[in-house]
Structure 1
Amino acid sequence: MSDLQRKLGKAKLKSAMGDNSLKEVDENEDGDQLSELREVVDDDSSSASSASSTGTIIPSPRQKLFARPEGIPRGRSLEQIPWTTYFERELFLKPPAPAQTDTTPAATPSVEITYHAYLTSPVGKGPLFVMHHGAGSSGLSFAVLSSEIRKRLPNAGVLALDARGHGSTTITSPKPGSIDLSLHTLSTDLYNVIQAAKTQMAWPELPPIILVGHSLGGAVVTDLASRGSLGPSLLGYAVLDVVEGSAMDALQSMQTYLSSRPAGFASLKDAIEWHVRSRTIRNAVSARTSVPGLLSDDGGNPTKPWVWKTDLAATQPFWEDWFVGLSKKFLGARGGKMLLLAGTDRLDTELTIGQMQGKYALQVFPEAGHFIHEDLPEKTAVALVDFHKRNDRSALVLPPKVSDLLAQGKRV
């Protein structure tokens, strides 16, 4: 900047602002260099927004305006969000007592299980979305999704269970360390939880039900739907990011994934941060809710006491049982069907043909990872609510029966 330009600029400012207002500028002026501004810290707790500031912030040359963010932005909370933010209550449920027969040995040791589930009750004749999580996860995986569903369908209820060996469901077995995680057992557990919730909540009958399952949970809800044990209460079922072909292929690399996963964490914050940084869960709010349900603080390592509740490596004997025949059962079971995927490459041949024949609804969210419902809870909620509306029988008005018209003396 030349001396002439500087003098002209000062003259204009003096005429508008007066001489005293420029003294500080003159004292701090050092050639053409601007004094460096102190770094502005983004504080989410502040009610003031930088966008609403009346001043203009001039960045220093050292500030990287266009650098890509590294991991979690500073100032963002990684504190746990309690389950009470999303659900009305938690339930501790017992399965129905098995029928005693003459052939049942009196001293046969049995497995005792107490199911744990989260519930927001339906209102009036509203539907009940029954959620089953994937392997290694918990019912809190659906927490944020449940609130998004209720925003769009206020009379809906959500029931999300912790499967055996997961979350806060407890089990005692005569053979410690061995838990039956076969598909038939898991789908029976899901049925028992629905019936036990009905009893405990004193519902006169089961509400209209939409089953929703993610990954392993998709196989479980499909198996329960194919058994027909829910009768006319079942409106339909939705499967999130699992199909038989790709699931069987993924099992080959499962051990590699498990070996690369941290064995423990120093704190829940560290665990939440790892899930977000690794993009296992791409939504920090959902991670703050669901990740604490995956861990317990009874690890033997004092530096990393938070360890996984579920030993996924120990479930390997059941992996093929979960997914073999899934596509056939998904297409053949009664009720509305919807498949939500993170990519069309996951479709196998049988499902591709079924989709072309219009046997089920398909939605693809390519911007999501494997945990579609956690990464994109709003979009998933919209899809599920629309799915319910398409299968809601209460909105149907059926014509009168011919026999009823004849009994009333009307012509047919």
Structure 2
Amino acid sequence: HKYREKDEQGKMSGGPMYYMENALNMKWLAVLFSIAVIVSSFGSGNMPQINNIAAGLNETFGIEPLLTGAVLAVLLFLVIIGGVTRIVHFTEAVVPTMALIYVVGALGVIFYNIENIGPSFMMIFDDIFTGTAATGGFLGASMAFALDRGVNRGLYSNEAGQGSAPIAHAAAKAHEPVSEGMVSILEPFIDTIIICTLTGLVILASGAWTTKYENDFQRSDFDVIEGVYSDQNPADVARLFAHLDPNNSDNLNEFTGTIDVVNGIPTKGNYTIINARSVAEDVHVSLEGEDFTGTLSITEGVLDEESKVTIAGKSLLHSVRLTTQAFTTGYFGEFGKYIVSIGLLLFAFSTAVAWSYYGDRATTYLLGSKFVMPYRVVYVLAFFVASFADTTIIWNIALVTVVAMTIPNLFAILLLHRDMKQTVKEYWQGFYEEHPDQKKK
């Protein structure tokens, strides 16, 4: 905010790239960060959002992801074509509605399962340094796995230190950077401390995280190992837990060979199908909506990439599908999944809208405002394509792009710590001079 500038169209532009250049005289770092912003606008703010929306609407209403992507891509273009003014009007109308719907739905589940809230908190604190043992259909998770997922999802959720929020706040009409900074502090608190805590309690208290549901298996969650294992056998569970631990070198052998399928049902053999950290049950295979009869080729536990079949069955869920199921266990019953879908639609779409602005400010910094429109067109096209892409792959892309922005921004913040301290000091001095009655006694 302090080092923002006006572009050639008279619009205010700011963010880390401007304080990297204007305050630190590090043009190279500003360029590096701007490139990271553009990449992250796709990998973090664009693709995961529509992917989650499409999955949620498909889970709840049976709407094909392709149709969801096409309709929302058109709406996205209509919103972002209007620039920052239309983006602000859209988000200020949508975000409060989204938050209210989601909080009401979450509280409905939490109070319905109130007897599980205490044990849920105990589980959170007990498993901080030990990981989570296998329970129900869940094969367990090591501390390293939980820490990796927790930190990644936390950074992705609140964007703290990523440098995206300063780009938006630079467009604010506030004259004092400190006052605008205090407003921005509310964002991670509301997003992470309130919304994410409610979501975590809903998932834990409902028991949905250990329950297997019918679903289509995604290839990145799908694994076939040699041998027949059961999650009802403690010895088998221990071996499967060790196999899923990325730090364990004594893994089970991945299956390589063929599996015969008759009328959609895989024949029994010396193999076990794992999906989403659980032993898959009632597996069936289809091709273009019809029961498949033929042979599946598996190499090192992975289905042949050329295979066009859909594999489904009962397994654990993750991401939006897990949250959707958890929300059906409260006072709202099956209507709970509509709350998730509607809330997710509003939240994720508004996030994609906001990130389009971050990307076009970075594009303006690097190439000038004339390249903003081509950027927006590509942004909308990527939004459409991601609606039917693999969820896990999309999340992996998002996590990489978060790091790409965060590292250069944190480096710049560390170098600017004295500047920030002095700016805050001057702000409060001016504030107390203007409002002497507010000064601490």
TM-score range for the pair, normalised by the shorter chain length: under 0.3
> Which structure is larger by alpha-carbon Rg, 1 or 2?
1
Name the structure where helix makes up a greater proportion of residues: 2
Q: TM-score, normalised by structure 1?
A: 0.23
Q: RCO greater where, 1 or 2, for CA within 8 Å and sep 6 or more?
A: 2
Q: TM-score, normalised by structure 2?
A: 0.22
